[in-house]
Structure 1
């Protein structure tokens, strides 16, 4: 029986979070600055990174009328309970009202895209004169892949270290796109029980807009299908070429609502218990 959009999105989110767990674990193992932690409890999935460089990682996903009961306990795991972005994919009216009442305001949406196994997509057929795709299989390839990722992202030193650490994991499969024998773009994929995550993509500035990432997406989608993955999924920032590429290939894009706390204060530890009690008594539902 075909799954609903909600069920597909839930599966996609679980796959993406499994990838986040790998990344956070690798960062902790590598000794990068701060504390890295992933949490699954009460239907919520939290990512924690305490160093300022990695603040963008601080999120709590899976917030619903039911799981909101566990939200205060998860928030207490963060050094600043107002730091994480709250993601509520399909919020009810009650949940929206509750978040507003708790001092949250809407942040930019967090799109997630997915393609179910067996579904048609707008595959790009490549000629030999266009992009040639190969999977990283040697140390030489791995070095080229890392260089492309570094140059394509152009991230700060700290964020670059996080990206390299994640993409060095054995579970992360790397792919290189070349034209006329010159490597110009890279992308990655990881396989999880609920689906394949097409995470990680970088193109050298001089090659952007020429279809490298579309070619890499097509290649990975076909590979995931051949390997029997239930679905393939990816996330991207709203309004970017990445999310447009996903949509143009035929993936379903869902714009998940995101929320930030507008009360820019730190709750002292002895006051948090009181705030927790208040949230629990007024949670949605």
Structure 2
């Protein structure tokens, strides 16, 4: 059985939460830095406050928020004020995405300061190693390949079409390919069904941790096993680069979460996004 072949999972504790959240924060910081280089007019930037990374990637970007708040240092009202100023001077909404393993004193403080929960994300993880057998044969008509500079437009168009049901994300995805191509630690993959691109996904390597992100399938290419194949290929690639742990986020109960769990991922915790109302 698949689960019998897996090495021990790290315990889901504060140390693991710090490791997972710092990986995602660092990956997003690299993205913001690349955005500033590729599209300097957007004035993308980030800063660290009380151990949390605060990102500005544009007013509408899903990356414009904080990561890791309350996991590394206590949070006071003064800390929240500093973070709010970072976003408000850029006319951006204030979002904090917070692990349930953060300092328990943070929750009543957020409520008292006018925040409300607006979104939940399942944070999933699993150990990885070279020569993994994920236990399911791939659709023989599918091919997954790493994307080079010559295929950036194809990757970008495929990724954007895969998110076409979510207009608020589509515009963001239109530029992701160009930005990600400028990040040394990022790798892009494309799934093709009999030569036609139907799905795209990204991978960010941070030390020994691999962050899987940006997976989407075009509406006409769904139910062909593309996401399974992309997940498998990215895990194999990351393990070959020396990564020992993989992480990803998904909407609770979503097909993406179920697909990850079929690949041996476990839910570390459910993260909550808070917005200043």
Shorter-chain TM-score above 0.5:
yes
Of residues 29-38 and 228-237 in structure 1, the stretch that sits farther from structure 2 once superposed is 29-38
Taking the aligned partners of 1:88 and 1:182, their CA distance within structure 2 comes to 39
Match of 1:63 among 59, 62, 69: 69
CA contact (8 A) 1:129 1:179 kept: no
Which residue of structure 1 aligns with residue 11 of structure 2? 4
Cα distance change of structure 1 residues 110 and 122 upon mapping to structure 2, 3 Å threshold: farther
Query: 1:62 Cα deviation (Å)?
Result: 1.8
Query: 1:133 Cα deviation (Å)?
Result: 1.6
**TM-score, length-scaled by structure 2:** 0.80
Which residue of structure 2 aligns with residue 236 of structure 1? 250
Query: 1:128 Cα deviation (Å)?
Result: 6.4
Q: Deviations over 1:74-116 (max 9, x none)?
A: 2221226982212221245433222222222222213222222
SS in structure 2 at match of 1:68: coil
Cα distance change of structure 1 residues 257 and 137 upon mapping to structure 2, 3 Å threshold: closer
Query: 1:186 Cα deviation (Å)?
Result: 1.6
CA contact (8 A) 1:82 1:261 kept: no
Query: 1:230 Cα deviation (Å)?
Result: 3.0
Which residue of structure 1 aligns with residue 180 of structure 2? 167
Query: 1:8 Cα deviation (Å)?
Result: 2.3
CA contact (8 A) 2:152 2:177 kept: no
Taking the aligned partners of 2:111 and 2:45, their CA distance within structure 1 comes to 27
Cα distance change of structure 1 residues 4 and 174 upon mapping to structure 2, 3 Å threshold: same
Taking the aligned partners of 1:188 and 1:194, their CA distance within structure 2 comes to 17
Taking the aligned partners of 2:139 and 2:256, their CA distance within structure 1 comes to 24
Query: 1:137 Cα deviation (Å)?
Result: 4.1
1:85 maps onto 2:98 in alignment: no
Output aligned runs, 1:18-29, within 5 Å: 18-29=26-37
SS in structure 1 at match of 2:87: coil
Taking the aligned partners of 2:230 and 2:35, their CA distance within structure 1 comes to 26
Equivalent residues, number: 259
Query: 1:3 Cα deviation (Å)?
Result: 4.3
CA contact (8 A) 1:124 1:214 kept: no
Taking the aligned partners of 1:3 and 1:227, their CA distance within structure 2 comes to 20
Query: 1:194 Cα deviation (Å)?
Result: 4.4
Taking the aligned partners of 2:92 and 2:190, their CA distance within structure 1 comes to 39
Output aligned runs, 1:121-132, within 5 Å: 123-127=134-138, 129-132=140-143
**TM-score, length-scaled by structure 1:** 0.78
Q: Which has the larger radius of gyration?
A: 1
Taking the aligned partners of 1:88 and 1:142, their CA distance within structure 2 comes to 33
Cα distance change of structure 1 residues 128 and 236 upon mapping to structure 2, 3 Å threshold: closer
Structure 2: stretches of 5+ with no match in the other structure:
1-7
SS in structure 1 at match of 2:134: coil
